[in-house]
Amino acid sequence: MWELKEYRIAGSIGEAVAMMRRGPGKGVYIAGGTDLFLFPPACDYVVDINHVGMSNIARTPDGDLFIGAAATLHDIATCPLVTGFAGGLVSAAAAHCGNRPVRTTATIGGNLCNALPSADLAPALLALDAVCYIADEDSQESLPLEEFFTGPRRTVLDGRLLVGIALSAASGGWRAAARRLTRSAEDIALVQVAVALEIDGDRVGAARIALGSVAPVPMRAMLAEALVEGELIANLDPDRLADAAAIAAGECEPIDDHRASAEYRREMVGVLTRRLLASVLAGSTDTSPGTDNEGGAA
């Protein structure tokens, strides 16, 4: 049981950070609490950030998608703004997290700030060049999601608050697909791969291959991306895709644990990358081929 000493409810973003900085002792932010209650940290107080106006999902006038850090995974899985963005890549990732009761309270901010290598939203967001907005007491900064994670369970935050995630209007038109492998339907992923391609006539523009659960932090396979980016689609034959997949497999740094071996994880990065590239090029945006066991967004 997690025995809370002090529960502070913030009314605004600035107040949340101020409450966090005030001390005494160690504090943690709480959003949905679904991660916190699994492994309750030792702390002197918690700061509730559910009432600071960060649960909004919106399109800006120039078409960017903004998702507030306190938006729930269920909202993300079902909001038309997200399901209609880049083939619904982000909403599908949210829909595959845990189960419906968890998704009702779990937030995107918690998923990212918990910073597990297996965070399910990370590969999809990395594949769409997500930018994070971070607030301090009286300043804001933004940085690419790749730079947000600094290690397993570690981020750049250092007491600051993640306010939200922005995806550029351009990436909303990318074709994308993702897959995660698990043992049972509700499981921490063994391997996650998300692929997003900008299709520009007969050419691939931007190419993104993002991986999860195969390195200390969610990562992009940039060497593999380079093999695809800017290429004529006609040149991307099965051999070329297999090469890219093999390079992606080489880029990751998986470990052995009781769930799966590093060898299997690495091989699966190759298999999934190859298949996802092919299906995205073929125009399919199916995020989970053949796996109706993974549970839907409803």
Determine whether 288 is exposed, middle or buried from the number of CB atoms within 10 Å of its CB (0-12, 13-18, 19+): middle
Number of residues binding to other proteins, judged by CB under 8 A = 29
| Nearest residue to ligand FAD, by Cβ distance, number only | 110
Distance CA 89, CA 171 (A): 11
SS3 for the chain, per residue?
CCCCCCEEECCCHHHHHHHHHHCCCCEEEECCCCCCCCCCCCCCEEEECCCCCCCCEEECCCCCEEEECCCEHHHHHHCHHHHCCHHHHHHHHHHCCCCHHHHHHCEHHHHHHCCCCCCCHHHHHHHCCCEEEEECCCCEEEEEHHHCEEECCEECCCCCEEEEEEECCHHHHCEEEEEEECCCCCCCCCEEEEEEEEEECCEEEEEEEEEECCCCCCEECHHHHHHHCCCEHHHCCHHHHHHHHHHHHHHCCCCCCCCCCHHHHHHHHHHHHHHHHHHHHCCCCCCCCCCHHHCCCC
Sole binder of ligand FAD in the list 17, 19, 36, 211 (CB under 6 A)? 36
Counting residues that bind ligand FAD (by CB under 6 A) gives 30
| Residue 107 lies near ligand FAD (rule: CB under 6 A) | yes
Contact between 285 and other proteins (CB under 8 A)?
no
- Is 109 a binder of ligand FAD (CB under 6 A)? yes
Please name the residue that has the structure tokens 């030792």. 42
Taking the complex as a whole, the smallest distance from the CB of residue 244 to ligand FAD amounts, in Å, to 26
In the complex with other proteins, which residue's Cβ is closer, 115 or 181?
Answer: 181
Which one among 165, 190, 219, 224 touches other proteins, defined by CB under 8 A?
190
- The correct pick among 10, 19, 29, 194 for binding ligand FAD (CB under 6 A) is 29
Q: Which amino acid is at 113?
A: C
Q: Does 237 bind other proteins (CB under 8 A)?
A: no
- Report yes or no: 195 and 273 within 8 Å, Cβ to Cβ: yes
Q: Which stretch binds other proteins (CB under 8 A): 138-146, 181-189, 209-217, 228-236?
A: 181-189
Q: Kindly state whether residue 186 participates in binding other proteins, applying the rule CB under 8 A.
A: yes
CB of 183 to other proteins, least distance (A): 4
Q: Minimum Å distance from CB 232 to ligand FAD?
A: 36
- Residue 251, contacted partner among ligand FAD, other proteins, none, CB below 5-8 A by kind: none
Q: Does 188 bind other proteins (CB under 8 A)?
A: yes
Q: Is 95 in the site for ligand FAD (CB under 6 A)?
A: no
**Minimum distance of other proteins from residue 36's CB (angstroms):** 14
111 near ligand FAD, judged by CB under 6 A: yes
| 119 part of the interface to ligand FAD, by CB under 6 A | yes
Which of these ranges, 15-23, 40-48, 244-252, 284-292, lies near other proteins under the rule CB under 8 A?
284-292
Q: How many angstroms separate the CA atoms of 82 and 90, rounded?
A: 7
Out of ligand FAD, other proteins, none, which partner does residue 97 contact, by CB within 5 to 8 A per kind? ligand FAD
Q: Which residues bind other proteins (CB under 8 A)?
A: 1, 3, 38, 99, 181, 183-188, 190, 258-261, 264, 267-268, 271-272, 275, 289-295
